[in-house]
Amino acid sequence: MAVKTITIDMAAYEALSKRKRTNESFSQVIKRILREDRYSAKNLFTHLTATALADETLDAVEKQVRLREQTYPEDISLD
């Protein structure tokens, strides 16, 4: 396997080091983090804003929201 040396500053090194698991190489950490980023909320939002939903789908979602509001009308405190 070919390797490539990169230079990172100490802040980047420490951030990677904190994410590093036992017996995991820095290459594995970087690949895992990049893979996790594909499933981030930001990534999901980006794709959703580019997605057009059919009126029937939007109506079905709205219907479910209304049903839940009727089923659980009280506010639930998370304090």
* pLDDT higher than threshold 70 for residue 25: yes
pTM above threshold 0.85: no
Q: Domain for residue 76, yes or no?
A: no
Give tens-digit pLDDT for 44-79.
777 777 778 788 988 998 998 888 888 776 665 655
The answer to whether residue 1 is domain-embedded is: no
| Domain ranges, residue 61 | 10-71
Distance in angstroms (rounded) separating the CA atoms of residues 57 and 65: 13
Confidence of residue 35 (pLDDT cuts 50, 70, 90): confident
Residue pair 33/15 in contact by the 8 Å Cβ criterion: no
Residue 78 lies in a domain: no
Q: Do 33 and 43 contact (CB within 8 A), yes or no?
A: no
Number of domains forming the structure of the chain: 1
